[in-house]
Chain A
Amino acid sequence: MFNYRTLVSTITVMAFLAVWEFAPRAGIVDATFTSQPTRVVAAGFEIIRTAGFLHDVSVSLSEFALGFTLAIAVGVPLGLVLGRFPVLRYVLDPPIMAIYATPHLALLPIIVVWLGIGMQSKIAVAFVSGVIPILVNAMAGVRGVDGSWIVAARSFSAREWDVFVKVILPASLPSVILGIRLGLSRAVLGVVVAEMYQSQAGVGNEIMRYGSEFRTDYLLFDVLLVSLFGLTATSAVRALEERLWTAGE
């Protein structure tokens, strides 16, 4: 079953790469616009050797890491507390839902006005993009906790803190991790788009520059790099999530 799946996926990817490579050679499309796998790989080698590349990557990574860590640090505890205490939820639910419904990338111009075109504005975008799914899922996780577990804990004289640590936290962990996974891809997108909008460095900045210079191969290599990063990070979180689900079924 697994091997069958792998086989089908591999064949699909190979077929796609083959069409991409040979369509320009056969003159069906123009390689200036579509590029080719071999060209993208060649561009990759070039880019890696350019002076600014490592700097751009490290800027983007730092922006993402800082913003997303902040999103986790705020979103998880706040979501858990909001899920646990209905009164707080009634107070904060409307603003949270409003932010949830807002296309927050549309706020980019304001964020740039507030925080400038440096790293701060990207960190802010990564934070805002990541924090909402994390918060909402942590909250849902707590609300899904079976009341009978809490009563059982109480029957052993558990205090509110014990209930939180021994029941609420482990019971909502799968939901929390799910939120982190959803928030992660949004934060990556946020950083790249913010860099494309207004910035001095970063992978998004490179993408924008290569785009304006018509260097499709270079641009695609950077895009590939970003999606590879997102994919790897997401899969890592998903693996963690699956282990938790099977343990907690």
Chain B
Amino acid sequence: MSTAIERHRYDVVVIGAGGAGLRAAIEARLAGKRTAIISKSLFGKAHTVMAEGGAAAAMGNVNSNDNWMVHFRDTMRGGKFLNNFRMAELHAKEAPERIWELETYGALFDRTKDGKISQRNFGGHEYPRLAHVGDRTGLELIRTLQQKIVSLQQEDFAETGSYDSRIRVFQETTITELMLDGDRVAGAFGYYRESGEFLLFEAPAVVLATGGVGRSYKVTSNSWEYTGDGHALALRSGATLINMEFLQFHPTGMVWPPSVKGILVTESVRGDGGVLRNSEGKRFMFDYVPDVFRKQYAETEEEGDRWYDDPDNNRRPPELLPRDEVARAINSEVKAGRGSPAGGVFLDVSTRLPAEQIIKRLPSMHHQFKELADVDITKEPMEVGPTCHYVMGGVEVDPDTGAAFGTVQGLFAAGEVSGGMHGSNRLGGNSLSDLLVFGKRAGEHAAAYVDTLGVRPKPAKIDVAAAAEVALAPLARAGGENPYTLQQDLQAVMGDLVGIIRRAGELTDALKRLQELKARVANVSADGGRLYNPGWHLALDLRNMLVVSECTAKAALEREESRGGHTREDFPKMSPEWRRVNLVCSLDEAGEVHLERKPVPRMRAELIDLFDRSELAKYMTDEELAEVEAE
């Protein structure tokens, strides 16, 4: 077996070719840096391609009352005030610019009557705010960024005769380890999936944009790529993760047929009039409006229905509550025996919109149900249930620059892999805009960081050799465990014991089982050679999934309250004391996960003023409120 290692030198290496990674790479290249983009799958197929609903930006095209302050407020409310306020602020302020910029790259969003970008309603957003293209917004976003990169490459070609001279895409390439020189990032080590050959990037700055962790769950909307690589790479290089206990379970995943269980049914179905019913035909969401949201949601079906046409004078239907609320409600209905035959509830648009409207507004949902479940959504309801969808927690970063906290320098993170922005629960549509806003910032600041360096950090030979050895181990080992079995076992532990509803006993049990799995994963083996070998690839991803799962389980055990994407049956209430706490994970020398409590940064006074005192009282301690009053 050859251990030849291909070497490359770049100024900025972006790991991940989803929305965040591509936007970061564009910015780094525009700042004149030689940039590499690395992606596990083919260029243009990252997870972002699957996003359906839209990208939230307070452009005010549909309702001119919308502005960044309203968007900021919605985001903080959605995240139950645990968000990093500065990130939420930057996001709300900069999202419109980032969306408009996409049009200059060639994006074609759906339009309003007066020719502007159309915006649609979504759960938790006060006004129609999501820029969209039918229900394939993610495809438009990633294709646009992909094509912008091509256009930059064409400029470089005209100037230098080589498309790859300033920005190069390494597709189907997986990074397994970051290289450090002291505390500074020196590069990244990985392999080509196609050939199994190794490569080493020497680069002083790395941007992580690797997306999420959902593959650790059995029922998930996430693809094989979501193994938490970026989270694990960050931990191993000395960075920290925050709030890993918060996972978003999307309320509406497909539940039938079994093979597509988890695949997403976009929230726009509800935004466009779809309603949830239990097996008794009841619109049960009216029974599940929590006190904090009581004022904003309709109390009767009639009022809810009127809202679609006259949102200024009616309150929205409770089907549009934030995702965590809807997911829990569905969970409760099913548990109470009022579920659908396949163990979900019914989501119905067929009785709410004429067939041609449904096909026009939700073409890919129509297509998806037709093709995968043989259900015609213009005639029958869909069966849906919660599915693991998004991780709110992630790499702890500086809000303005995206630089990772902890001991490491030169590491940046953006997109789903970073944490803080969404607090305990993400609003639909806030991710796509997050990718653009913080992708740009991370690219810009990674480039600026490179300029501050005198000498370039160098990867140590011994580290490179060690990384190669770790990568080859599963192939060299004979008779070890099957990686697919291990993955199933891990998914079972996480799904059953660290799922939507959590209990102390089960979490303790989960931690014990994760330790056992750790020992088994250390003994995983893969048959076949290095050439495009998915068994080997999975074997290498497993250790990342495992360490990230451990962070989630540990933090979930620690946080004794229920908030957003973290529900503890034994602590069902939201606690103002816990709102002041971020849970931060790090790795020690021995590779053990450490958990630490850190205070949530305090919101600036002018931002606090955007909220009613009565609203703040639902989230804050008396002491905090007194301080607010004093200001």
Answer yes or no: do A and B interact.
no
Residues of chain A whose beta carbon lies under 8 Å from any beta carbon of chain B: none
Residues of chain B whose beta carbon lies under 8 Å from any beta carbon of chain A: none
